[in-house]
Amino acid sequence: MPPERLRVVASLVVRAELKEVGLAKWNWERLAAGCGILFVALFIVAYVIPGKPPTMSAGNAKWVHYALSNSREIKVGSILLGLALITFVWFADSLAARLRDAGEPRLAAIAFGGAVATAAVFAIGIAVQAAVAYRIASEQPTLVKSFVELGTVALTIIRFPVAMTIGATAIAALRTGVFPKWYAPFNGLAALVVLVGAGALSQKGFYSPDGGYTTISLIFFLAWTLVTSGWLAFRVGTERAPRATPAT
């Protein structure tokens, strides 16, 4: 083979190897960003496994029967929710990194702080659910409904830090163009819907912890996580994030 052709082949091999290394780096970053998708999947599976629980207006006896009849499923669901918690924090860190790269360190800190607070309250809700299935239902059945109400309230007010994360992301998207143009209004709407859901503490009806509005706000949160994680997973590592426009 002529020396000139040999040098060309060697150059192509080196470039291919460098590209492969770069893609490997991008793939790890994309896996972290895509953890939000995994969170949604784990959350839905964990939500479905234990079966439909009684309503919050049901008596303690129905909740005891539900916990004893579905003890294993509730424990499995709690484990899956714990794994979902890990993936959510991982996703939130990738989101915060994207906002920092866009020149919004304060909003990045607020978004990640909201995610950490969300994870903390979420962990409390998981622990209460697991404790009911573990021993409370069998050894202290009279306390089951009280613990259920505690966990339910925790998973209702969790929407405050969730709205903080979504809202900070919405502001950053509006200021920097770090996301597509349609994303900022979508974020703003999601933040508002979720924030209003944090006050859904009526005793019964549409605006109660197990009412229709709570379900709507949950769907908005899961949709936001899915869309944001999917967009980050496909875009991270392929371009530089836009910087915030300096004030004049």
Q: Rounded to 5 degrees, what are φ and ψ at 185?
A: -60, -40
The model's pTM is 0.84
CA dihedral over 164, 166, 170, 176, signed as positive or negative: positive
Average pLDDT of the residues of the chain: 88
Mean pLDDT of 15-36: 65
Q: Are 166 and 197 in contact (CB under 8 A)?
A: no
pLDDT score of 241? 53
Mean pLDDT of 230-242: 73
Instruction: Please give the Cα distance from 162 to 198 (Å, whole number).
Output: 9
Q: Please check the confidence at residue 248 and state whether its pLDDT lies above 70.
A: no
Q: Are 67 and 77 in contact (CB under 8 A)?
A: no
